[in-house]
Structure 1
Amino acid sequence: MKKYILSLAVVSLFYTQSDACAWSDPDYDYFNLFTQTIIKDKAYLPFLHNYSSRFYGGYNSSLIPDDNVETWKKFFNNQLSYSETQNLVYKISMNDLNALKNGNPTNPLLQKLGTGFYSKYKEAIDYLIEAKYLEPFMSINYVESENSFYYDRDASRKNATALDYHKTIAALTSLYNAARNPEIKQRYGYQLVRLNHYTRNYDSALQAFKTYVAPIKLKGSVYFMSLDQLAGAQRGLEMNGDANWNFFQVFMNSKDRKESAFVSMKLSDTASFSNIMKRAHTNEEKNMAYFLLGYEDFNNPIPMMEKMYEINPDSEILKVMAARSINELERSYLPTYYYTSEAQKVSAKENSTDNAAKNNSTAQTKPEVKEEKLSFWQKIVRFFKNLFGGSKSEKTGDSAKADQSDDELFSNPDRIPFYNRTGYYYDEKTQDFLDDLEKFTDKTKEKSKDEYWQIADAYLKFLKKDYKGSSEILDDIKTANPEYMEEIKRMKVLNDIVSQPKIDAEYEDHLMKDYAEYFVEKKVKKDTAATDNFDYYGDVPSTADFLKDVIANRYFLQGEDGKSFLMNNKLSDLQYNPNSNLVKSVEEFYRKPNKTQFEQQIIAKNMDSVGNIDAFFSTIYGDRAMRLADFEKAKAYYGKAKNFAGIPRQNYEWTEKNGQTITPKQYAPAEYDGFKNISNLVFGHNVWESFGSPDAESMKAENYTDFPFIKTSMDKLELADALIQLKKIGNGTDEKAAKANQLIGNLLYNTSILGYYRQLFVMDIDNSNGGKYDFWNTDRKNPYKYYYKNFLDTSYIEPDNFDLSINYYQKALKLSNNKEEKARILFQMASAEQGKYYQYEAKAPKDFDYSDPKWSEKEEARQKEMDQLKNQKYRTYFAQLKAQYSDTETTKSLMGSCSYFSYFMR
C-alpha cells in the first residue's frame, strides 16, 4: 500500500469494499452517465436519486423557480426582470422602500423605477414594507419538552413571540380590511395565518385561514403559502390526516416548497398513504400520490410507475421515477471500481461462487456480437496460421490475449461495463429489474411525445450491451432540447467506444480525432483561496473517467498490461508493487517506437517524475535479481542505474493560507534513497526484533575483518559487487568460506519480509509496515482481473524464497568448526524457516468465515492443526539447535533476547 511522508495524505488509501470508513460517499462510487437532471420540471430536482443525503443536491438551486418571486413579477406586469424582482422582494431594505414611498429613493433599482412606480403599486409597496418588518420574527419558538436532551443553539434568535401579538394582529387585520387588491389582501391573510401558527395559536391560525384567505377566490402561490402554514397549525393540533392532505396540496402545486412539504407530510406508514389515496379524486392527485408512494418505497417502483402510466404517460413525475430507477441500476453496472475476489482475502470456495454468479449474470446480458466476415484468401491465411502456429489454447499469457478474435473479445465476461454483484445495497433481482424497466420505457416512448423516453430506452440498451439497438434509437431522436442533445451526444460516444472489439492503433487515432475532449486533460486554474468550494471527497466521477477505465480494461484483456497500467496510474506507482511481469510490460511500452498520438498524449504522459526512467527500471530489475540471489545480474542492472534519482516520494504540506502543497521529497546526503547509503549492518544479525528502532539498536555487525570490500556505507552497485566476492570466497572450504556464506545468508534474510532491511529490494524508503510486508498477498501471480485501477490498494510483489538464505546457511554450517558460530547459524536458519511457515499459513485453505455460527471452535481446531504442522515441518532447525547446541553461550544469549525461542527451549 502506498506510503506518504505525511500521514494526513494516506487517509484516502484506507477505503475498502465494505465502505465502513467514514470518508466514503456512495454517490462518488459510480459513473453518473445518465444525467438525472435533464428532467424538464426542475422543481423535482431534489427528488432525484442519491444515497448520501435524503434529497438530491447535485444541482444549482437557482434552477428551481421561486413561486413568490414569479407571482410578484407577474403582479408588476413583468416590468422587472426575475433577478430585479427577487432583489425587490428579498434584498432591498424596509428603509429603502420607505424612501421610495417618501419620494426620495436612494437604492439604484428604486431610482430606476422612479416615484411613479410607488404611485402605481402603492398597496404592493406598503405590503412589502410591512412584510419586511415582520420577516425577522417569522419563526416558531423552540419549546423544550421534559424528555428533550437537546438545547436551542440559537436561543437569542428572534421569533414570533417577540412581537406584541394583539397589536400585530390588529394592525394586520386593519391592513387586510383596507386593501382593495385581492392578491394583496390575501397576502395580509397569509401573514395572519403565519403569525398565529408561529405563536402556537393553532386554533386562531385555522380560523384566520377560513376568514382571511379562503374567501378570496385565488389559488395561486399565496394561497399555497398560506395552506402550508395552515397544515403546520393542524399538525400542532394533531389533526394529522388534514395536515398531510394540505401539505400534499402544497407539494403538488408549488415549485419551491416541494422538499419542505414532503418532509412535513411525515408519510411514515401505510395509513398515511391510504388517507391521501382516499382523498385523491382527480387524476393529477392520484398520479402524485402514486409518485410519493413509489418514492418512499423504492424496492421496486415499476408497479407504481405502471399506475402512473395509465393516468398520464406524459407526466413529468413519471420521468423522475424513471431517472431514479436508471440511477439505481447504474450503481451496479457502472461502479468506479470493479472489485475482484482475487484481490481480496477470501477462500477458494467464495471465489468460485462469485465467478459463477458473475458468469451467470453476464450470460443474461450477452452483447450483440458482430459477425466476422472473412474473404476466401483470409480463410486460407488463417488455416495456415493455425496449422503452423499452434492453437490458441496452447498459447499462454499475453500472447494468448493478443491473439483473440473479435468474438472472443466481445464475449469475455470481464469486459466492462457489466453487472457487478458487489454494488451498493445488492438486490438479487436487479437484473430482472433492468429487463422490466426496459420493457416499460419501450412502451412509454411509443405513447409519450417527450424524447426523454427514447433516451432512457437507449441508455438501458447500453447497459444491456445492445449497443447497436441503443445507437439506432439515438440516431432517430429529433430534439431541440439542449440537455437532451448533450446526453444523446455523450451516449453516442459511449456506444462507439464500448462496442469496439479491440483498441488498436487505428482506433486510437479515431479517439484522438473525434473524442479528444474526453481524454485530453484540461488545465484548470484553481483558486486556492476559495475554500468554500472544497470537496472533501474529491472530484465527482465523470464520463471521461469512465471511458479511461473502459480503455484500460480493454488493454488489460488484450494483454497490453503496460498500457492498461498507465491509463490509471503513474510510472512512479510501480515502486509500490514492483512486480516483474508488470514492470516488464510497462518498460516495453516505454521503449515502443512510433507511438500513436493517443499513446503519446494520453498514456505516455504518466511516465512522470521518476528522474532517469532507464535507471528507474534498472533499479527494479536489479532489486529482483538480488532477491533471487543472482548477484551478477543485479550488478549488471545496478551498473545502468547510477543516475537513479531516488525513490519518488512526495511531501504534503497544508496551511490555512495556501491550502495543500505537494513537493518532491529531497533526500538528505546520508539518507537511504533506494540506491545509496546502505549500512554494512545489512550483513549483521538481529539483537532484538524492532523495526521502529534505529538499526544500531536492532542490528549487530558481524566480524568483517576478512572482507575489507564490505564498506561501512554502500550503494547497491557496491553491495552487489561485495556479494559476488563473498560468493567466490564461499566456494572455499575454510572458516573464511563459512563466514562468507553466513554473511550472504544474513543479507538474504535481513532483506526478506522478516528482516530489518526488508525495504531494500522492494522499492521502499524504510521498513515501516505496509502492504508489501503482508504474507497473505505474496502468492498471487496477478490479483487484478479487470484492469490496474486502485493499484495501490493491493500488493502483489513476488514472494521471498527463504530456501536461498537457508542454502547459504547450510554451506556455512557445514564448513564452520566454531560451535558458537554454528549455534548462531542454526538460529538464523530457524528464523528463515519461520518465513516458509508464514507463507504456507497465509495460503492454507479455510472453508469457513466469520459468519459461520461455529467460527470460534472451527478456528480453534484449525489453529491446533496448524501448530501441530508447524512443529512437525517448520521447527527443524530449532529442534537441532536445542538438541546439539543448548549449552552454548550463543543459545543462552538468544533465549534472553527472543521470548519465543526461550519458550521453545523450555
Structure 2
Amino acid sequence: MKEILSNKLFKRSARTIAVLILLACAGGPADLNEFTSYFLPETATAQAGDGRYHFTQQFLYLDDYSDTLRPEKDINSQAWAKYAGVDETIAYNYFYTESANNTLPNRLMLKGNKAAVTYLQLAKSIEKSYQPSVYSWEEGSKDSLVLVEAFAKSQQLARSTTDPFLKERYGYQAVKLAMILEQPDNCVKLYDELIKPLKTKTFISDWAFSRKAGATMALGDTAKALYEFAQLFDRCPSRRREADLSLRIKGVRFQEKALDYCQNNDEKAAVYALSAIQPLEDGLPMLKKVTELNPKNALIELITAREINKNEYYANGEMPYVEDTLAYEKRRGESKSYFEQLGDFCADNATNKALSNPSFWYTSASYVAYVNKDYKKSEEYLAQAKAAPAPNDYLKQQMDIQEVLLLIAQQEGITSEFEGKVIGMLEKLNKSVNFRIVNAYTRACGLLAKMYRGQPTEEKKSGGWWSSCSSKSSGDVSATHLAKAFLLEAAASWQSRPANADGYAPAFATNLDRYAVEDSTSVATLREAISYAQQPQLDDFGKRLVGLSGVNADYLNVVLGRRLLGEHQYAQAAEVWKNVSPKTWTESPFSDYLTENPFYIKPDNGQSPSQTLTPAAFAARMVQLETQMKAGDAQAAYLLACGAYNMGYFGNSWLLLNRQRSSSEYEYTYPPRDLTGVDYYTAAKAKTYFEKALQLTKDPELAAKAAFGASLCEESTFYVFKANEGRDLGYDEATQAAFKKRMNEEQKKRLGKYFDLLRRNYANSAYTKEIIEECSTYRDFVGQ
C-alpha cells in the first residue's frame, strides 16, 4: 500500500506555491500591479517612463519597461559625442557597455585633448572604486583610499580648469564624492561653490543638484529636500526616478513649509505635483493647486488618472487582504464623496481653456459618473469625449470600455439588436493583455450572464428596472438563455483567452476559472449549451459567442461525460462520449496522462497494467460490468470497483474525471473545505462495489482482492480525515510528533475492518501474501 507523506513544514510553502500537474495552464500573474480597475491610466498624456507613477497597491512600482528606461545614458552619450566630435555609439560604448573599448579617449588624444582624457580616467577610477549594491541581499564595494584621493583631485581640477564642459563635470564628481564619503555638509558647500556659480548649466548640474538634495535630506531638512527634489523631478527627466524614490523610500509627504522655498508659481506647482504621486496622499487638493498654479504642468492628467485608480481600489470589488479592515472600510466610506468631487473636477477641466485634451477630461468625467451610477451624465460626457480628438489609442480603448459597460448598465432586456451591439464590443476587448481591459471584459461577460439568467445586476440603480423583480428561478429562464449565460462565463475565463507566443494564456485575477464554471453548472445546462452550440442554423451572435467562449460541442461533450461518470451514470456517460471525436482521445492530455489500465490495482490483481482504454471505451466497459454485477457476477463487481477507484483522485486514471491534479490538493484546498462527502477523493462508491464483490464471491483469492480494494477506499477517506485534522496544526516538533502518533493509531483503526478480514479469513491466499510484500501499512497491522 502506498504511503502519502504529510509534512507540515512543506504545508506552509504549499499554501503559497501549489505544485500542480496542469493539463492546460495559465502563465502566472500577468501583471504584478494588478487590482480591480476599469480605467486606463495610460489615457493620460505623460512623458516616457512616467508609467511608474500610475497608482498601484505596491509601495514601489514594479514596471520593467519604465524602470529600465535610463535617459541619463542617452543624454550623457550625446553630450560627449558632441564635445569629442565622434559618433554617439562610440561614447555610449565607452560608458555603458560591458565590452567597452578605448576609442573615445583615443580620439580625444588624437585631437590633443589630454585634459578630457584625464577626466575620463578619473571618472573610471571612481566608478571602479565605488559600486553600491543593486539589491538589499548583495554587498557593494567601496575603496575609500582611492575615493578620498579622487575627491581631492576633482575639487582641485574643478577650481583650476577653464574648459566649461570639464569644469561642470569635475564639480559634479566633487559633489557626488562628498555624499559617497558621507560628508553632506561638504556636499552642500561644494555645490554652492563649484556648480551654482556656473554661467552655463547642463543636465550635469542637475545631477549635482540631485546629490545636493540628498545631502539636504541627510541633514534633516525634509521640507527643503522636498522642494529641491520637486524641482529636480520637474526639470530633469534623467533624474526623475531618483527624485521620486528619494522621497518615497523615506516616506516624505507634503509639507507646507516646502512652498516657502519656491520662487514662483511653477515651482510651487512642482512641489504639489511630486507630493501628489507619493503613497498615502489624497492627491485631489494638490491636483487642484497644480492646475491653478501651472496649467501646463505635465503631470496634471497623470495625477488625475492616478486619483481615479486609487478610488477604484475602494469602490470596486471585494475588500482585499489588509491588516486593518476597519481603516479600509472607513476609507471606502469616504471615497464616494471624494470620487464625486473628482468627477466635478474632471468635468470643469473639460471646458478649461488653459488645459488641453478635452477628450481625456470628458472621458474621465464620464467614467467617474459611471462608477457613481449616474449613467445619463456618463453617456453625455462620453459623447463629448468622442467628438474631441483623441491623442492616443489608450483613450480610444477607454471609450470602448465605457461604451460596453454603459450599454449593459442601461439595457433593460435582451434583444437581438442589443446582442448584435454587445458581441462586437466584447470582441474588441477580449484579446488585450492590459489587465484593466481584461477586467472590463470579464465584468461585462459576468453582467451579461446575470441578465440572461434574469438575475439582478449591481449596475441597476435602486428603484430601477431590476428592483421590480427578484431573481428568476432556473425554471423561469429559457434553455437558450441558460446556455448563453454559461458560454459568457466560459468566455470570461483565463482558459478561453488567446494564447501568447509561449503557448500560455496569461491569467488575470478577475478572470474566471472555466473548470470551476463547468463544475458548478448543472448537467441540464451543459446539455443545453451543447445543443445550442450545435444548432445547424446558429445565428451570427451565437457563432461569435461560441468563438469567444473557447469551447465547442466536442469539448463540452467531454465535460458532460466526466460529470456523468463522476455521478456513476456510466450508460449516460458512454452515450455522451459517443459524440466525441475519436481523435480527441489520441491527443494531449489523454495521450499524456491516461497511460495505465484503469482496472489494474497493485499488487498485481490479474489485469494487465499497461493496457490503456479511451474514456469512451472505459465508460462502455463500466456499463457492461455494472450489468454483469447486477446479474450476480462477483468478478464484474470487483472490476467495476477497480474502475470506480482508479478514476478518483488516488487512482491511476484520475484524468477520466478531472482535468488537473495536484500532489497535495486534498490537503491544501483554498478556501479550506471538508472533502469527506466528495466521492472523487473518498472513493465511497468504489467501496460499495468492493463490498458487493465480497458478498457475491466464494473464491478466497477474489475475496482477498476485494477486501484489499475496500481498504484502499478506507485509506482514501482516512487521508481526507487526516488533512482536515491537521489543517490548523502548529508547526513545533512536539505537536507534530503527537499528531503523527495519533494519526498512526487512527489509520490502524480506520483500516482495521478489512485488514482484519484479510488476516482472519484470507491469510493463506496468494494475494494476501503479495499484500504483505507490497504494503507496509498492512505489514505493520499484522506485526510482520
Q: Same fold (TM over 0.5)?
A: yes
Offset at 1:167?
8.9
The worse-fitting range, judged by mean Cα deviation, of 634-643 and 862-871 is: 862-871
Partner Cα distance (2:150, 2:712) in 1: 79
Partner Cα distance (1:642, 1:300) in 2: 59
Q: SS state of the match for residue 584, structure 2?
A: coil
Q: In structure 2, which of residues 309, 312, 319 is the aligned counterpart of residue 421 of structure 1?
A: 319
Unaligned runs of 5+ in 2: 1-18, 88-110, 454-481, 499-512
Q: In structure 2, which of residues 38, 44, 49 is the aligned counterpart of residue 38 of structure 1?
A: 44
Offset at 1:826?
2.4
Offset at 1:438?
1.7
Aligned in 2, Cα 1:275/1:647: closer, same or farther, shift over 3 Å? farther
Q: Which residue of 2 aligns with 1:466?
A: 374
Q: In structure 1, which of residues 197, 211, 226 is the aligned counterpart of residue 175 of structure 2?
A: 197
Offset at 1:267?
7.4
Aligned in 2, Cα 1:591/1:817: closer, same or farther, shift over 3 Å? same
Structure with more of its chain in helix, by fraction: 2
Say whether the 8 Å CA contact 2:772–2:778 is kept in structure 1.
yes
Say whether the 8 Å CA contact 2:31–2:435 is kept in structure 1.
no
Aligned in 2, Cα 1:318/1:433: closer, same or farther, shift over 3 Å? farther
1:94 aligns with 2:69: no
Q: In structure 1, which of residues 164, 167, 172 is the aligned counterpart of residue 161 of structure 2?
A: 172
Say whether the 8 Å CA contact 1:197–1:232 is kept in structure 2.
yes
Partner Cα distance (1:323, 1:755) in 2: 53
Aligned in 2, Cα 1:753/1:278: closer, same or farther, shift over 3 Å? same
Q: In structure 2, which of residues 584, 606, 621 is the aligned counterpart of residue 701 of structure 1?
A: 606
Q: In structure 1, which of residues 591, 610, 619 is the aligned counterpart of residue 534 of structure 2?
A: 591
Offset at 1:861?
11
1:901 aligns with 2:781: no
Aligned in 2, Cα 1:214/1:469: closer, same or farther, shift over 3 Å? same
Aligned in 2, Cα 1:211/1:599: closer, same or farther, shift over 3 Å? same
Offset at 1:326?
1.9
Aligned in 2, Cα 1:584/1:423: closer, same or farther, shift over 3 Å? farther
Aligned in 2, Cα 1:283/1:618: closer, same or farther, shift over 3 Å? closer
Aligned in 2, Cα 1:898/1:583: closer, same or farther, shift over 3 Å? farther
Q: Which residue of 2 aligns with 1:828?
A: 709
Q: In structure 2, which of residues 410, 421, 426 is the aligned counterpart of residue 510 of structure 1?
A: 421
1:326 aligns with 2:326: no
Offset at 1:811?
3.5
Q: Which residue of 2 aligns with 1:432?
A: 333
Map 1:103-502 → 2, pairs under 5 A: 140-141=126-127, 143=129, 150-152=139-141, 161=150, 169=158, 172-173=161-162, 175=163, 190-191=168-169, 193-197=171-175, 200=178, 214=196, 222=201, 225-226=204-205, 228-229=207-208, 232=211, 241=221, 246-263=228-245, 268=250, 276=258, 279-280=261-262, 284-298=266-280, 300-301=282-283, 317=299, 319-331=301-313, 418-422=316-320, 427-445=328-346, 448=349, 449=352, 450=355, 451=358, 454-476=362-384, 479-480=388-389, 482-483=391-392, 486=396, 489-490=399-400, 492-499=402-409, 500=411
Q: Which residue of 2 aligns with 1:811?
A: 692
Partner Cα distance (1:257, 1:778) in 2: 46
Q: Which residue of 2 aligns with 1:27?
A: 33
1:565 aligns with 2:461: no
Partner Cα distance (2:52, 2:557) in 1: 56
Map 1:372-771 → 2, pairs under 5 A: 418-422=316-320, 427-445=328-346, 448=349, 449=352, 450=355, 451=358, 454-476=362-384, 479-480=388-389, 482-483=391-392, 486=396, 489-490=399-400, 492-499=402-409, 500=411, 504-511=415-422, 515=425, 518-519=428-429, 539-541=433-435, 543=437, 546-555=440-449, 558=453, 559=482, 560-568=485-493, 569-570=495-496, 579=519, 581=523, 583-601=526-544, 603-604=546-547, 614=554, 621=560, 626-641=565-580, 643-646=582-585, 648-649=587-588, 679=597, 682-687=598-603, 699-701=604-606, 723=622, 726-731=625-630, 737-762=633-658, 769=662
Q: SS state of the match for residue 26, structure 1?
A: coil
Aligned in 2, Cα 1:468/1:553: closer, same or farther, shift over 3 Å? same
Offset at 1:747?
2.8
Deviations 1:849-887 (A, max 9, x none): 85x999999999999999999888885444555565567
Q: Which residue of 1 aligns with 2:54?
A: 48
Partner Cα distance (2:398, 2:516) in 1: 41
Offset at 1:518?
0.9
Aligned in 2, Cα 1:648/1:636: closer, same or farther, shift over 3 Å? same
Offset at 1:171?
6.7
Say whether the 8 Å CA contact 1:46–1:57 is kept in structure 2.
yes
Partner Cα distance (2:383, 2:779) in 1: 78
Q: SS state of the match for residue 654, structure 2?
A: coil
Q: Give the aligned CA root-mean-square deviation in angstroms.
A: 6.0
Amino acid at match of 1:899: S
Offset at 1:830?
2.9
| Number of residues of Structure 1 aligned to a counterpart in Structure 2 | 667
Deviations 1:505-534 (A, max 9, x none): 432211356x47715869xxxxxxxxxxxx
Say whether the 8 Å CA contact 1:749–1:802 is kept in structure 2.
yes
Unaligned runs of 5+ in 1: 1-5, 16-22, 70-85, 98-125, 177-186, 334-417, 523-538, 651-664, 688-698, 705-709, 784-795
Deviations 1:144-198 (A, max 9, x none): 699997345999x99994998699557732x56xxxxxxxxxx676345325435
The worse-fitting range, judged by mean Cα deviation, of 741-750 and 770-779 is: 770-779
Say whether the 8 Å CA contact 1:305–1:321 is kept in structure 2.
yes
Q: SS state of the match for residue 280, structure 2?
A: coil
Aligned in 2, Cα 1:509/1:870: closer, same or farther, shift over 3 Å? same
Amino acid at match of 1:511: V
Say whether the 8 Å CA contact 1:621–1:637 is kept in structure 2.
yes
Aligned in 2, Cα 1:432/1:282: closer, same or farther, shift over 3 Å? farther
Aligned in 2, Cα 1:636/1:822: closer, same or farther, shift over 3 Å? same
Say whether the 8 Å CA contact 1:35–1:487 is kept in structure 2.
no
Say whether the 8 Å CA contact 2:561–2:574 is kept in structure 1.
yes
Offset at 1:590?
1.8
Deviations 1:475-532 (A, max 9, x none): 455755624963773354244344145565432211356x47715869xxxxxxxxxx
Aligned in 2, Cα 1:905/1:583: closer, same or farther, shift over 3 Å? farther
Q: SS state of the match for residue 428, structure 1?
A: helix
Aligned in 2, Cα 1:900/1:776: closer, same or farther, shift over 3 Å? farther
Amino acid at match of 1:473: Y
Partner Cα distance (2:666, 2:651) in 1: 10
Percent identical among aligned pairs is 15
Partner Cα distance (1:731, 1:778) in 2: 40
Partner Cα distance (1:759, 1:516) in 2: 33
Aligned in 2, Cα 1:54/1:10: closer, same or farther, shift over 3 Å? farther
Partner Cα distance (1:145, 1:723) in 2: 70
Partner Cα distance (1:261, 1:778) in 2: 43
Aligned in 2, Cα 1:188/1:212: closer, same or farther, shift over 3 Å? farther
